[in-house]
Amino acid sequence: MRGFVERIAEVGRAQQKISSIRVGKSTTQDVERTLGRPGDVQLEEGGAQVWTYQTVNPSVLAFIPVANLLGKSMQEDNLTVRFNKKGVVTALGRGQHRF
């Protein structure tokens, strides 16, 4: 139970950090200071960048062999931050996938 409570608190902190990022205002430096280094950086034509943050979290079922046969015992959360050539946030995207 303690791990679950800690995970809920961690999710709350992450959401608070993400909500502090402002489209049209926050910069690459702001985002890196808030979220840390991204897991992936894509450089696009014209100098734009796309940063991706990803976490994979197993559920309790992932560690129970028979229960894991039901599938969907892992959750992947993604955050994509798009910057213009000046390094200012132009878009944020979030996604989630269970497998």
Phi, psi at 44, each rounded to 5°: -110, 165
Give the separation between CA 3 and CA 75, rounded to whole angstroms: 16
Domain ranges of the chain: 2-98
3-state DSSP call for residue 32?
A: helix
CATH 3.30.1450 for domain 2-98: yes
Q: What is the pLDDT of residues 34-83, one digit of tens each?
A: 999 999 999 999 999 999 998 877 665 555 565 555 665 677 889 999 99
Among candidate residues 74, 75, 81, 27, the one with its CA nearest the CA of residue 53: 81
pLDDT-derived band at 8 (thresholds 50, 70, 90) equals very low
